[in-house]
Amino acid sequence: MSDMYNNFQKYFEIVEANTNELLEIVYRIRYQVFCVEHDFLDASLYPDKLEKDNYDNHSSHVLLRFRSSGDFIGAVRLILFDPLQPEKLFPVELYTQLDPTLCNIKALPRQHIAEISRSVVVKQFDRRRGERRESRADVTDESSAERNRRASDRRSTPHLSLMLMAAVMRMSIKHNIRYWISAKDPALNRLLGYNGLSFNPIGPPVNYHGMRRPYYANVDDVLTRMYKEHHDAWEVVTDCGKYSPAHIN
């Protein structure tokens, strides 16, 4: 197993938000990021400080927890097909401009499509992590070897966005999802691409909770590419194959 996978397991935990208490944490994190930190949404519309919408009831929600503190530092949801409203469109279909020549979503089996949505990380976590690093540098009795080991750990620890994709993967296997769609920042797509997780653009950028572009990915294609070309990231995303179609192991 790679250092990237070992550090992911050492420092972080994926928690399915399958109780009312955990769901409230998800909604509070989303409020903090979307309404307070980035002002994408009007905070006055959420007096209870819980950011929710009409897709949450047919979504799978996952949290990312930092093990040493127990803090929940990020969340992501997977919007699933709603069997009670089979004609209901995904947000990508409503709020972006899709090019059917690049991907005709309507031709795909909708029960196997999921939209990756509300992928968020709290700003404070990155700041606290930076403060921890600075304080470590000031410790005079820490050996050079120990400082080098810590620096190596940081370099081999996966980016938080990759860890959230590991959460997405768990839910995708659980719900038999074969196709991912998403409206995301093109810079995030490029960042994920460094680990073989880039999606295909299927429309122009639009202003939707910031500048976003619609993307599509075939789950099998992504995992096959990662397994061959970015195996350490594949280990993180699939938990060393535990959450992966059997033929990609």
C-beta of residue 175 within 8 angstroms of C-beta of residue 60: yes
Terminal Cα distance for the chain, rounded = 14
User: If you compute the radius of gyration of the chain from its CA atoms, what whole number of angstroms results?
Assistant: 19
- To the nearest 10 degrees (0 to 180), the angle between helices 231-238 and 160-174 is 50
The alpha helices in 64-143, defined as continuous H runs, are: 91-95, 123-137
- Per residue in 35-92, pLDDT (tens digit) is 999 888 999 999 999 999 999 999 999 999 999 999 999 999 999 999 999 999 999 9
SS3 (DSSP) at 7: helix
pLDDT at 93: 96
Structure tokens that stand for 60 in this block = 């799978």
> Both tokens of residue 210?
């910031």
Q: Place 246 in a pLDDT band, splitting at 50, 70 and 90.
A: low
Other Cβ atoms less than 10 A from the Cβ of 25: the count is 18
Distances (CA, A) of 77 to 35, 114, 133, 134, 208: 17, 10, 30, 33, 17
Predicted confidence band at 145 (pLDDT cuts at 50, 70, 90)?
A: very low
Average pLDDT over residues 155-180: 91
Q: Alpha helices, DSSP H only, in the chain?
A: 3-11, 20-31, 91-95, 123-137, 144-155, 160-174, 186-193, 219-229, 231-238
pLDDT for the residue 86: 92
Q: What percentage of the chain exceeds 90 in pLDDT? A: 78
Q: What is the pLDDT of residue 49?
A: 96
The Cα 114–Cα 140 span in angstroms is 50
Q: What is the pLDDT of residue 156?
A: 63
How high is the pLDDT of residue 249? 67
CB 202 within 8 A of CB 99: yes
Pairwise CA distance, residues 21 & 117, whole Å: 20
- pLDDT for residue 124: 73
| Banded model confidence at residue 125, pLDDT cuts 50, 70, 90 | low
| pLDDT the model gives residue 107 | 94
H or E stretch at 168: helix 160-174
Query: What gap in Å lies between CA 72 and CA 54, rounded to an integer?
Result: 23
- CB-based contact 75:52 (threshold 8 Å): no
